[in-house]
Amino acid sequence: MRILVVVQRYGAEVVGGSESHARVVAQRLAMVNEVEVATTNALDYWSWAPHFPEGESMDGPVRVRRFPVTGTRSPTFKDAERHVLFEPHTLADEQAWLAMQGPHTPGLLEFLRDEGKGYDAILFYTYIYEPTAAGLPLVPERAALISTAHDEEPLRLVPYRALFQLPRAFGFLTPEERDLVHARFHNSHIPSEILGIGLEPPPWHDPEPFREHYAPRGPLVLYLGQVSEGKAVDELLADWNRYRAAGGTGSLVLAGTARMQIPKQDDIVPLGRVSDEEKYALLEAADALVLPSHLESLGIVLLEAWQVGTPCLVSAKNKVTSGQVMRAAGGASYGPGGFAAALAAVLADRDRLGASGRAYAERECTWPAFDARLEQLVDLVAN
């Protein structure tokens, strides 16, 4: 089968959830198919400045075609966006917003129109950017949309009204994403597959040093990821301090790049970025992982915690991560004021919840399980 993956940015050094997912999918599919990627020469999504050389290159077995981005993101983009999201505006304003957002790559679009019919299936990543919004309508008869949508304002904009009716099939990251898209676009008749993600088995790691260090002070509660308000770490700190004030014990370890002020307290330990081995050592040593973020389209770190049998605590405000925890029966979710009680419940039942999470990760996130779902999706599109 000849498969094309279209994504706004691509490469090992590209940071971004859907971009990483696209690369994993391209590499997995390339084990049994001829896979190509059509993308831009940009590395970041705020300037779309050229970084990679244009033209063809190989990423392992995957042929990558990079098309130039014409122009960079307009300096007035944020104003235009506020206008179409929050003020009275015209159809033309919304249509102009898409081009301003970028990345504008006429070469990629013409490639799709001219060469698209040479592929059995074309997988489009991320609904929001122009390569998908303008590219998928050129090849709807062979397109799958991996929308990576969440409940955000742009989803209401006019370029997406038809986009979500056009693909042959959808690949969703979670059942929550599927439900959101079906409710918004009334398109449940279009077949879909819940892809989730596949994970490598954890590398060799040693949790003992972390255990020995933290155990004497009580439970080790771990946060792993970007330390920022955007990820609701400020709320986590407030919840933690209330828990401590009410007599709770232990340490809150924050592993990840800090993008906010962290109070200097003995019980709050910022570690900065950690290596892969340290990450899994921390995950296994932790009594619980906590993920307070409201906006995750797939909580990969939860799956990683479950790989090593550690239960998770998530914010009930996030339907996706609460759904994951519920399906895995691998932890608990907490609403406002409920952090301490939920933490206590998880700690009291750590082994059982951790084992349940581990079983879930083994069922859902091994490569054979992921590859089977991918194959399903490709089959829905090709034929």
Partner 1 sequence: MNRSSLLVVVQRYGDVSGGAEAHARSVVQRLASHFAIEVATTNSTDYLTWRGDLTAGLDRVDGVTVRRFPVERPRAWNFKLYERRAFRSRHTLDDERAFIDAQGPYAPELLDFLFKRGRDYDHVLFFTYIYYPTVLGLPLVPERAVLVPTAHEESAIGLAAYKPVFHAPRAIAYNTEEERRMVWRRFRNERVSNEIVGVGIDVPAERNATRFREKHGITGPYVLYVGRIGVSKGSRELFANYERWRASDPAHDVSLVLIGDAEMTVPRTGGIVHLGRLGEQDKWDALAGCAAFVMPSLLESLSLVTLEAWAAGRPVIVDARSPVLAGMARRAGAGLAYRGPAEFAEICELLIDDAALGDRLGRSGAEFVARTYTWPRVVETYVDLFAEIRMRLAA
Positions that interact with partner 1 (CB under 8 A): 90-92, 94, 106, 109-110, 113, 137-142, 158, 161-162, 165-166, 168, 185-189
Compute the least distance from the CB of residue 127 to partner 1, in Å.
Answer: 15
The owner of tokens 């996706």 is 320
Query: Do 122 and 6 meet the contact criterion of CB atoms below 8 Å apart?
Result: yes
Give the DSSP H/E element, type plus range, for residue 4. Answer: strand 2-6
- CA gap 51, 14 in Å, rounded: 11
Q: CB-wise, 159 or 292, nearer to partner 1?
A: 159
Closer residue to partner 1 (CB): 60 or 106: 106
Least distance from partner 1 to the Cβ atom of residue 36, Å? 20
CB of 163: closest distance to partner 1 in angstroms? 9
Minimum CB distance to partner 1 smaller for 161 or for 259: 161
By residue count, the chain amounts to 383
Q: Which is nearer to partner 1, 137 or 270 (CB)?
A: 137
Helix and strand numbers (H, E) in the chain are 15, 14
Q: How far is the CB of 320 from partner 1 (least distance, A)?
A: 22
N-terminal to C-terminal alpha carbon distance within the chain: 10
User: Is the Cβ of residue 189 or residue 264 nearer to partner 1 in the bound state?
Assistant: 189
Instruction: Closer to partner 1 by CB, 100 or 302: give it.
Output: 100
Least gap, CB of 91 to partner 1 (angstroms):
4
Q: With respect to partner 1, which residue has the nearer C-beta, 90 or 264?
A: 90
Please tell me the number of Cα atoms within 13 Å of 364 on its side-chain side: 21
Angle at the Cα of 334 (from 333 to 337), degrees rounded to 5?
175
- Least Cβ distance, residue 184 to partner 1 (angstroms): 10
Round to whole Å and give the CA distance between 11 and 32: 21
Nearer to partner 1, 182 or 317 (CB): 182
* Contact partners, residue 266, CB within 8 Å, separation at least 6: none
Q: In what order do the strands lie in the sheet with 192-194?
A: 55-59, 62-67, 34-40, 2-6, 121-125, 143-146, 169-172, 192-194
Q: What is the maximum span of the chain, computed from C-alpha positions, in angstroms?
A: 67
Place of tokens 């063809």: 56
Whole-number minimum distance, CB 170 to partner 1, in Å? Answer: 13
Per DSSP, 117 falls in state: G
Q: How far apart are CA 325 and CA 359, in angstroms?
A: 13
Q: How far is the CB of 118 from partner 1 (least distance, A)?
A: 14
Sign of the CA dihedral with 183 first, then 184, 186, and 189 last = negative
